[in-house]
Amino acid sequence: MRRGRKTSAEQVVLRLRQIEVQTAQGKSLALGCKEAGISEQS
């Protein structure tokens, strides 16, 4: 996600679901966040 731009709720939910699927497949949370282009603290 880019800094300074508003992100729609649908985009946020989509990225969180992608990370959830990746963690269910055994990937770490840090790796899922990195692939989604966001930090873990976001």
List pLDDT tens digits, range 6-38.
Answer: 878 999 899 999 999 999 999 999 998 888 888
Number of domains in the chain: 1
Long-range pairs, 36-39, Cβ under 8 A, ≥24: 37/1, 38/1
Q: Which residue has the higher pLDDT, 33 or 5?
A: 33
| Contacting residues for 22 by C-beta, under 8 A, at least 6 apart | 31, 32, 35
| pLDDT surpassing 80 at residue 40 | no
Q: Which pair of structure tokens corresponds to residue 4? A: 């300074």
Q: Which pair of structure tokens corresponds to residue 22? A: 């990746």
pLDDT confidence of residue 23: 93
| pLDDT surpassing 90 at residue 41 | no
SS3 call for 38: coil
Domain range enclosing 22:
1-42
* Cα 16–Cα 19–Cα 23 angle in degrees, nearest 5: 140
pLDDT confidence of residue 17: 94
pLDDT band per the 50, 70, 90 thresholds, residue 3: low
